[in-house]
Amino acid sequence: MDPTADGPATGVGRTDPRPERGGVMRAVAECRGTVPVPLPVSEAFRLFTPEGERRWVPEWDPSYPAGPAAPAAGLAFVTGEGREARTWVVTRFEPDAGLASYAYVLPGRRTAVIDVVVEPGPDGGSRARVAYGMTSLSPDEDGVVEEFAAGFEAMMVEWAELIAALPEVEPGSSAARDEGPLRDR
């Protein structure tokens, strides 16, 4: 999914039924949004790494089955516990280009692919374009995927607020006064 593509900010659909899968239709969400980050690109990009998100995502506490390592394609980590434990894999990591992609699996429940592109924004700040694709793997998760899509824009607003509250963000900077998430600008 391309986070810089034009199109609707959020959407949810159903996959086509396939006879080989018993004709079952699962919910699929494809969402895009933009989060202003009142920091230079290199600093902003670090906030979208597994360790960087610890700084602003409540209860984000990744663990590394193979031990801590620098982010790179192939790095695996786990977040959550019990039924909410997600196994993540970094699928692309290009800090110089401001690109990172992640995938996670909640076995038997749902999968997600997340693409982040951090680019220069107005007034010396940055913006993170986020594309999130989520697929239900069971009937019980269809509603979860649909709720995720319905709440995606609010999630982008929350991300912007959490990032703006970081100590290194200057409260009076023009980037910190940005109007909030940008939609496909």
Instruction: Give the tens place of pLDDT for each residue, 166-184.
Output: 998 865 443 333 333 332 3
Instruction: Give the tens place of pLDDT for each residue, 10-69.
Output: 555 554 444 455 656 789 999 999 999 999 999 999 999 999 999 999 999 999 999 888
Q: Which residue has the higher pLDDT, 25 or 98?
A: 98
Q: Which helix (H) or strand (E) holds 91?
A: strand 86-94
Q: Provide the edge-to-edge strand list for the sheet that holds 86-94.
A: 12-14, 27-37, 126-136, 110-120, 99-106, 86-94, 76-79
The CATH class of 12-164 is alpha beta
Residue 100 has pLDDT above 80, yes or no: yes
* Lowest model confidence (mean pLDDT) among 92-101, 107-116, 118-127, 149-158: 118-127
For the chain, the C-alpha Rg in angstroms (whole number) is 17
Residue 151 has pLDDT above 90, yes or no: yes
pLDDT at 7: 45
Instruction: Give the tens place of pLDDT for each residue, 70-87.
Output: 999 999 999 999 988 999
pTM above 0.85, yes or no: no
| Average pLDDT in the chain | 84
pLDDT at 3: 57
- Burial, 33: exposed, middle or buried (Cβ in 10 Å; 0-12, 13-18, 19+)? buried
Instruction: Give buried/exposed letters for 141-179 (b at 16+ CB in 10 A, else e).
Output: bbebbbebbeebbebbeebbebbbeeeebeeeeebbebe
Q: Domain ranges in the chain?
A: 12-164
